[in-house]
Amino acid sequence: MSNHYLVHLPHCGTKVPEKYLSDYYLSKEELQNNIHQYTDLFTDELFDGIYQQFGGVKNNYSRLLFDPERFFDDKEELMQQKYKLGWFYENAILENKALRSLKHKDEISKIFIAHHEELNKKTKDKLGQYGKCTVIDCHSFSNERYWFHDKNLKLPDICIGFEEEHKEEFLIEAILEEFKEYDIGINEPYQGSLVPTDYYKKNTNVKSVMIEINKRLYLEDDNRTKSKYFSAIKEKIALLRNI
């Protein structure tokens, strides 16, 4: 077992500071529904075993405030170019309509930057201590397809993603072994894995592997309520702390 791993939980949060609520064009109920349906609900609990073991960075804010998994430069972010769903979502999730004004975009960008500064710092600390750092990028996804999704996309139970130049083969093999009885997609339907910005395509001693858990494995059909299988999935993920 090595502690060069660093856990990243980018989409588990549901918080939107009250001062920004008036920026949203949706009703309070609509906004909460968009937030909860598009949050990687309970991933902070599912991945807590490895988070406690290795440490990491957790985003407690909703991705409808900012999405740390997008490129900060809107010109580089395909989701911004195609759907206006860059790091600062301009469109809603459940319907194709405007989400909010740009009034506080610059102010909210400071929260985005602070998140990545923390991730970069903890990566630097791991490099200094162990000579390498491997980010475990922790997500879940829904079977429900939204307006910007391919409705015909085949959705596996588990998705493993990585960038080829930051690939950690040992971790990928460990995940494949742990979930061998499940249907697993490799870089599909989701590709890549977040590499801390100071090291992306610059330092191959920084690795990153994304784990995406289909919500059907641990939630009821409402995408909000833990199912009877929640504990079993949590325990399976926790076994990765022995890698």
**Domains in the chain, CATH or no CATH each:** 5-242 (3.40.630.40)
pLDDT at 21 over 70: yes
pLDDT at 57 over 70: yes
The whole-number pLDDT of residue 197 equals: 98
Cα(120)–Cα(61) distance, integer angstroms? 19
> 72-126, pLDDT tens digit by residue?
999 999 999 999 999 999 999 999 999 999 999 999 999 999 999 999 999 999 9
**Contacts (Cβ under 8 Å, ≥6 apart) of 165:** 201, 204
Q: How far apart are the first and last CA of the chain?
A: 5
pLDDT at 38 over 60: yes
The whole-number pLDDT of residue 43 equals: 98
pLDDT at 2 over 80: no
Residue in 147, 179, 133 with CA at minimum distance from that of residue 6: 133
Beta bridge partners of 5: 134
The whole-number pLDDT of residue 1 equals: 56
> 164-214, pLDDT tens digit by residue?
999 999 999 999 999 999 999 999 999 999 999 999 999 999 999 999 999
